[in-house]
Structure 1
Amino acid sequence: MDTATAGLIGTAIGASGALTAVFLTHYFTQRRENDRYLREQAQEKSKWLRDQKQTCYHNAVKHLIRVCALGAHVKSNTFIKLPDDAPTTWYDDIAEANAWLTSLHYFCGDYYYDDIGSAATEFLNLSNWLIGFKPTGTRSRTHFLHILSEDGELDYQAFVDFMNQLECTITNCARREFQLGPRHSSLD
């Protein structure tokens, strides 16, 4: 074999090696960039979901507290009778609490789904009863007799206790979901 042929074969082998190296470098770089992109997308989705959960927990608890606060205020005021004399803002807070509890039930983690679903359903039934609708999933308007006094009126202390129980359920779920400290002692 003459030197020209040997040089040509050497050049071809060198060129093919260089092209293979370029191809492999490009392939692995592209793969690494794609993996990084997918990780960033998963992190963004996880952050977005966490933010949605935090917003839902915050607003659900805020509106439950506002609904409860009027019941606590009325307990010491003999001139106001719930739900008859309730201000329209109270009904707005009830609607907001229902909306945020429903959203929270949608976004919450699987482990908390049943607890939050029960709390959301209980509050929906209570709010429907307070505004005169038949609560869903019940046979009569007597489902909430435990918060009525003997004369058939709303027992404000029982109402406040019931609202506090719902709030504790939601806040305990938030604490566990976001790993934010000990559980509330009333639900242990």
Structure 2
Amino acid sequence: MNNEGFTIWLTGLSGAGKTTISEMLCKELRERQAPCEMLDGDIVREHLSKGLSFSREDRDINILRIGFVAALLSRNRVCVIVSAISPYKNTRNQVRQTIKNFIEVYVKCPIDECERRDVKGLYKKARTGIIKSFTGIDDPYEEPQQPEVTCCTDLETVESSVRKILRYLELANYIPAPMDAVSWPERQARN
């Protein structure tokens, strides 16, 4: 069993379900006694990257900052769950290079479904020009080419997406399977 921390990086369009999956996944990991922290893109932007615009350069800075924090936490045996649009392949790959145990999860959802789910009305504002440089409308989203896990949230439930990620973590020996589960602190004490 891998006794190190890891970072699960959920990427996808606004409204795809990243935060919802992250919250349930974090709850599941904590129930297995794993130290877990969530870094949500919106919350990090508010507290760590306040003042940044949505230009490509500032988006990259924001993602690199999130990656820096995730790397610090995961190298200290924390399970980190990042939920951030992170639209550009290059920047995601830069972050992948800085985090030893990086698991990319593509939260895939068609844009029309994301728009249907949009309770904040962001897509509508982007389509009418009120919001500029909105990912998926007038700014690109570069899909991951080889994510470790893909969750198709228009076709699967939140629970099945979370199970899919947990199964990957079990098979890759990041976490124990439930039947042979030993609490995280016990595993750490054995090493």
TM-score, normalised by the number of residues in structure 1: 0.27
The structure with more strand, counted as a fraction of residues: 2
TM-score, normalised by the number of residues in structure 2: 0.27
Larger radius of gyration: 1
The structure with more helix, counted as a fraction of residues: 1
